[in-house]
Amino acid sequence: MKLSLKQLAVYLCLVAFGGGAGLFGSRYLVPPNKSFRELRNVTAALPPDSVVPNSVNGSIGSTGGDNVNFIATAVQKVGPAVVRINATRKVANPISDALKNPLLRRFFGEDEQPIPQERIERGTGSGFILSEDGKLVTNAHVVADADTVQVTLKDGRTFEGKVTGIDAVTDVAVVKIAADDLPVVKLGNSQNLIPGQWAIAIGNPLGLDNTVTIGIISATDRTSAQVGVPDKRVSFIQTDAAINPGNSGGPLLNAQGEVIGVNTAIRADAQGLGFAIPIETAARVADDLFTKGHVEHPFLGIEMADLSPVKKQQINQQNQLKIQLDVGVVVNRVLENSPAKRGGLLPGDVIQKINRKPVRTAAQVQKFVESSTVGDILEIEVNRNGKTQTFKVQSGAYPQK
């Protein structure tokens, strides 16, 4: 008995879509055998017109009294400026190409209608409003390659969004909608965060609008490699506030209701770990995208690692080097035709200072470079074979793929 092309397409679609649902609009997924209920975060979905009760002891930032009240107060301030972003894009249908094979068509029959060559992929993310005239920020992976972007406000209004710019290096994108007198967020400061401080996330996880999760700042200055996205150039904020698929692009708040980060990633191999782009990085990138349409990132062209006695021994054996220090930032590799190569840096150099300021971790070096401008000359002090040397390296622009 011959199977119809339609039956075959249905079977293949169930296999393909069952394993890949939700990829567009959320970069990292939790394995199906893990339950979100196992997370120890408090989660609450607030209705659009929720009212925060008055309480003398529930003021923002209060250490006593009803702590739920300070969370609700912060959310009431910011919630109206958090949006849902629905993006659609057309992608090639692999089933259509496979069924063009003459042998398959002979086996399954020639009288079936052709399978569409493209299918529509849909995803949902979050974002927040920066200006009253409709400037929004979200994650690049939420709107990348999107054919249509629909922005829905908390009050139910819906607008067509125009993607003004995307920066894949930091996973930041900006969207513009045609509206005025919109509610906006207040930007805070992420530079002095301390592990243990409150962290509040707002977004649309798993399609559940206006969801609030509460946790703490777990750590700061997590490198892209530690987070599992080595192609990015961000020192991430780590939080245990639940960041689920659909939260991408939403704000991470402090206890005062100020935005300190842009929620961007969850790790599939861990529970209760989420990461956010510091608001200083996101705001700087967003400003460049709105004004210039692109972002230039300073670039040295080195691979680094935090040095330890064990790491020193491994690097010395693998690369036949003679590193003597046990702590510092070691240069593992120098890219060809890079600013670092032209400036004189070599594998095995241990970076000790940049512009005469001590550095002890690769994250600190990355911050120094990111805070500079393309073309700036950085004075880099290194320890090479037990001797201190200083090199002047002019940063270049991060190469575009």
For 310-337, give one letter per residue: b (16+ CB within 10 A) or e.
ebbeebeeeeebebeeeebbbbbebeee
Give bridge partners of residue 124 from the DSSP assignment. Answer: 86
The DSSP result for 318-356, as a single string, is HHT-----SSSEEEEEE-TTSHHHHHT--TT-EEEEETT
- For a pLDDT cut of 90, what percent of the chain falls above it? 49
pLDDT of residue 382: 95
Tell me the pLDDT tens digit for each residue of 373-388: 899 999 999 999 889 9
Q: What is the pLDDT of residue 195?
A: 96
DSSP annotation string for 55-98: -TT--TT-SSS-HHHHHHHHHHHHGGGEEEEEEEEEEE-HHHHH
**Residue 141 a catalytic site member:** yes
Q: Is there a contact between 96 and 114 (Cβ–Cβ < 8 Å)?
A: yes
Minimal CA–CA distance to 32: which of 24, 44, 40, 20? 20
Q: Higher model confidence: residue 296 or residue 183? A: 183
| Angular region, 133: left φ>0, alpha ψ -120 to 50, beta rest | alpha
Residue type, 209: D
Handedness of CA 346, 347, 352, 356 (dihedral sign): positive
pLDDT in tens, 208-254: 888 999 999 999 988 887 887 877 888 899 999 988 888 899 999 99
The pLDDT of residue 292 is above 60: yes
CA 368 vs CA 30, 220, 306, 353: distances in Å: 33, 15, 15, 10
The CA-atom distances, in angstroms, between 234 and each of 80, 141, 374 are 28, 15, 17
Quick check: is 306 catalytic?
Answer: no
More confident residue, 226 or 156: 156
Has residue 158 got a pLDDT over 60? yes
Token pair of 346 as six digits: 């070599």
pLDDT mean over 357-371 = 88
**CA 126/CA 130 separation, integer angstroms:** 13
The backbone torsions φ and ψ at residue 376, rounded to the nearest 5 degrees and listed phi first, read -65, 150
CATH of 298-397 given 3.40.50.2000, 2.60.120.650, 3.90.1150.10, 2.30.42.10:
2.30.42.10
pLDDT band for position 60 (cuts 50, 70, 90): very low
Catalytic one of 26, 141, 288, 349: 141
- Residue 379: which residues within 8 A CB-CB, separation 6 or more? 353, 354, 355, 356, 390, 391, 392
CA-CA distance, 398 to 294, in Å (whole number)?
12
Residue whose token pair is 């962290």: 199
Longest dimension (CA), the chain: 80
Rounded CA separation 349/328 (Å):
10
Within 10 Å of residue 140's Cβ, how many Cβ atoms?
24
**Domain 32-88+119-294 top-level CATH class:** mainly beta
Instruction: List the domain boundaries for the chain.
Output: 32-88+119-294, 298-397
Report residue 212: phi and psi, to 5°: -115, 130
Cα(321)–Cα(340) distance, integer angstroms: 19
Q: Which of 190, 218, 235, 248 is catalytic?
A: 248
Whether the pLDDT of residue 52 is over 60: the answer is: no
Residue 24 has phi, psi (to 5 degrees) of -80, 120
Average pLDDT over residues 149-158: 94
Helix (H) or strand (E) holding 216: strand 211-222
Q: What is the pLDDT of residue 359?
A: 92
Q: Is the dihedral of CA 301, 306, 311, 313 positive or negative?
A: positive
Can 248 be counted among the known catalytic residues? yes
Residue with tokens 């390296």: 393
E strand or H helix at 132, and its extent? none
Give per-residue pLDDT as tens, 99-126.
556 655 555 555 555 666 667 788 889 9
**Catalytic choice (167, 171, 209, 349):** 171
Phi, psi for 307 (deg, rounded to 5): -85, 145
What is residue 346's predicted lDDT score, i.e. its pLDDT? 94
Look at residues 146, 127, 151 and name the one whose alpha carbon lies nearest to residue 137: 127
What's the whole-number mean pLDDT along residues 296-325?
87
